[in-house]
């Protein structure tokens, strides 16, 4: 299954351990060098879908600094799907890079 | 208005279940994400409303196009009964005399409307069909010819839907408060021209405009209100074309309202039922 970029980076933020919503937003921006800026609506829509598909589990709500939080954890299925997607993207990148190199060489020779 | 209040209002675009499950958490995240930036806050709010309405639409669409259309037609039946009972009472109030305005006939329609409001759709639909059948001879005397009975077709269809595919909701007598709507319409339209309270008439017109605006705004996410409104408009158009022989573009557009809205509702429901990409 393919992921959209925001979902891909949001799930990737959970590889090192559970995070709450705002932490996922910040970490996704870091991992993507600022290219992915998750809005609250997008974040919770994709989290809900990931929970429904068994990729993520939600923890119990708690208070932190007066704000209600909940930690989200990547499941083994989620980890496997993310791994498969990372390999698919890497394979696609390798293929295109090789084609571009061959094409550049042919142009210069 | 404070940011908390604006965000709380934006969250209302989500279905109640989603708000109960994650509303507080979403608001906390939203305030953190947009802290210190009015532009980010505006972007967050716009996105929250857009996705909330989409979530609401998906929830409505999960019932299926057939159920949504049936719900819309049931609501249309209630609206048509409301308009009929208001019109008949207004005509009586103006001193008009006609077999169609007999007290037993209006009382039967009012009782049927009350049943539909409480939630007894099947009983109300059957009662409305009986009421229509009892009126047909008098209607025939007024306007002989099958074409002139065309304005009865859409109501009959809606009443049949009430019987065959009633809405799934528990009976609740508190909904009888909606009888204030026909009472207000009679108070506004009953008195002779120029004698009705201008404030009341303006209030009724404003309410009608607000309902129309809400129906249009909700069409992409919950088309039931739009279906009910479009059927009522089409029925008016059919009456104008069939009885007044008015073939103007406006009258034809009125007739086309119901098929257009029904087509849009079915298409949109099917769109929303497609699984979203990750």
Nearest CA in chain A to B29: A22
Token match 């008949």: residue?
A: B88
Q: Which of A40, A45, A68 sits opposite B24 (nearest CB)?
A: A68
More confident residue, B36 or B155: B155
Nearest CA in chain B to A24: B29
pLDDT grade for B276, boundaries at 50, 70 and 90: low
The answer to whether the beta carbons of residues B91 and B85 sit under 8 Å apart is no
Q: Determine whether the interchain pair B29/A22 forms a contact, defined as Cβ–Cβ distance below 8 Å.
A: yes
A-chain residues near B276 (CB < 8 A): 49
Q: Please name the residues in contact with B63: beta carbons below 8 A apart, sequence gap of 6 or more.
A: B71
The answer to whether residue A49 neighbours chain B at the CB level (below 8 Å) is yes
Nearest CA in chain A to B44: A39
Predicted local confidence at residue A49, as pLDDT: 92
The whole-number average pLDDT for the span B254-274 is 89
Predicted local confidence at residue B197, as pLDDT: 85
- The DSSP call for residue B102 is -
Residue of A40, A63, A78 best to disrupt the B interface, most CBs of B under 10 A: A40
pLDDT at B62 over 80: yes
Interface of B with A (CB under 8 A): 18, 22, 24-33, 43-44, 47-48, 50-52, 54-55, 276-278
Instruction: Give the HSE-up count for residue B127: Cα atoms under 13 Å, Cβ half-sphere.
Output: 20
Predicted local confidence at residue B31, as pLDDT: 92
Q: Determine whether the interchain pair B33/A25 forms a contact, defined as Cβ–Cβ distance below 8 Å.
A: yes
pLDDT at A59 over 90: yes
Predicted local confidence at residue A62, as pLDDT: 93
Predicted local confidence at residue B94, as pLDDT: 86
String of DSSP letters for chain A: ----HHHHHHHHTTTTS-EEHHHHHHHHHHHTTT-----HHHHHHHHHHHHHTTSEEE---EEETTEEE-EEEE-HHHHHHHHHHHHHHHHHHHHHHHHHHHHHHHHH-
Closest CA to B84 of B95, B72, B76: B76
B-chain residues near A19 (CB < 8 A): none
A-chain residues near B278 (CB < 8 A): 1-4, 7, 46, 49-50, 53
Cα dihedral value B226, B229, B231, B237, nearest 10: -130
Give the residue extent of every domain in chain B: 3-61, 65-273
Predicted local confidence at residue B275, as pLDDT: 63
pLDDT digits 0-9 by tens, B222-231: 899 999 999 9
Based on C-alpha coordinates, what's the Rg of chain A?
17
The answer to whether the beta carbons of residues B6 and B45 sit under 8 Å apart is yes
Q: Determine whether the interchain pair B29/A25 forms a contact, defined as Cβ–Cβ distance below 8 Å.
A: yes
Helix (H, G, I), strand (E, B) or coil at B245: coil
pLDDT digits 0-9 by tens, A1-26: 688 999 999 999 999 999 999 999 99
pTM of the model: 0.74
pLDDT grade for B278, boundaries at 50, 70 and 90: low
pLDDT digits 0-9 by tens, B73-86: 999 999 999 999 99
Min Cα separation B36/chain A (Å): 15
A5-108 to CATH, choices 2.40.30.110, 3.50.50.60, 1.10.10.10, 3.40.980.10: 1.10.10.10
Q: Is B161 left (phi over 0), alpha (psi -120 to 50) or beta?
A: alpha
**pLDDT over 90 for what percent of chain B?**
62
Predicted local confidence at residue A9, as pLDDT: 95
A-chain residues near B36 (CB < 8 A): none
Crossing angle between the packed helical segments B153-164 and B224-243, to the nearest 10 degrees: 150
Q: Determine whether the interchain pair B278/A41 forms a contact, defined as Cβ–Cβ distance below 8 Å.
A: no
Closest CA to B108 of B138, B93, B88: B88
Residue of B17, B18, B25, B274 best to disrupt the A interface, most CBs of A under 10 A: B25
pLDDT grade for A52, boundaries at 50, 70 and 90: very high
Q: Which residues pair with A72 in a beta bridge?
A: A19, A58
pLDDT at B138 over 90: no
The answer to whether the beta carbons of residues B149 and B139 sit under 8 Å apart is yes
Q: Which two tokens stand for residue B229?
A: 């409104």
pLDDT grade for B140, boundaries at 50, 70 and 90: confident
Q: Please name the residues in contact with B58: beta carbons below 8 A apart, sequence gap of 6 or more.
A: B272, B273, B276
The lowest-confidence range among A48-52, B180-184, B216-220 is B216-220
Q: What is the mean pLDDT of chain B?
A: 90
Closest CA to A77 of A48, A50, A44: A50
Q: Determine whether the interchain pair A41/B47 forms a contact, defined as Cβ–Cβ distance below 8 Å.
A: yes
A-chain residues near B52 (CB < 8 A): 41
Predicted local confidence at residue B277, as pLDDT: 59
Look up the ipTM and state it.
0.86
Nearest CA in chain A to B33: A22
């Amino acid at each position: 299954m393919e992921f959209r970029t925001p979902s891909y980076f949001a799930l990737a933020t959970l590889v090192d351990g559970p995070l709450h919503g705002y932490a996922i937003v910040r970490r996704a921006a870091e991992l993507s060098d600022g290219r992915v800026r998750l809005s609250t609506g997008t974040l919770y829509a994709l989290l809900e879908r990931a929970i429904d598909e068994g990729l993520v589990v939600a923890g119990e709500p708690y208070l932190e600094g007066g704000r209600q939080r909940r930690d989200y954890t990547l499941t083994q299925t989620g980890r496997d799907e993310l791994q498969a997607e990372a390999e698919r993207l890497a394979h696609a990148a390798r293929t295109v890079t090789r084609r571009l190199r061959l094409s550049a060489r042919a142009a210069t020779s | 208005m404070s940011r908390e209040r604006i965000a709380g209002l934006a969250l209302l675009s989500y279905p109640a279940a989603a708000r109960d499950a994650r509303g507080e958490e979403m608001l906390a995240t939203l305030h953190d994400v947009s802290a210190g930036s009015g532009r980010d806050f505006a972007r967050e709010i716009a996105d929250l409303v857009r996705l909330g309405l989409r979530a609401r639409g998906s929830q409505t669409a999960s019932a299926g196009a057939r159920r949504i259309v049936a719900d819309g037609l049931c609501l249309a039946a209630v609206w048509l009964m409301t308009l009929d009972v208001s019109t008949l009472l207004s005509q009586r109030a103006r001193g008009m005399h006609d077999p169609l305005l007999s007290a037993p006939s209006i009382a039967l329609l009012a009782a049927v409307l009350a049943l539909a409001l409480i939630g007894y759709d099947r009983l109300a639909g059957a009662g409305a069909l009986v009421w229509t059948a009892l009126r047909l001879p008098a209607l025939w005397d007024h306007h002989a010819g099958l074409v002139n009975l065309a304005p009865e077709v859409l109501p009959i269809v809606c009443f049949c839907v009430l019987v065959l595919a009633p809405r799934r909701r528990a009976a609740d007598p508190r909904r009888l408060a909606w009888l204030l709507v026909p009472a207000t319409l009679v108070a506004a339209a009953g008195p002779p021209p120029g004698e009705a309270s201008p404030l009341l008439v303006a209030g009724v017109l404003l309410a009608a405009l607000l309902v129309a605006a809400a129906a249009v705004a909700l069409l992409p996410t919950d088309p039931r209100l739009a279906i009910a409104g479009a059927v009522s408009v089409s029925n008016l158009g059919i009456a104008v074309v069939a009885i007044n022989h008015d073939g103007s573009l406006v009258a034809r557009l009125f007739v086309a309202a119901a098929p257009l809205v029904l087509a849009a509702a079915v298409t949109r429901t099917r769109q929303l039922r497609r699984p979203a990409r990750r």
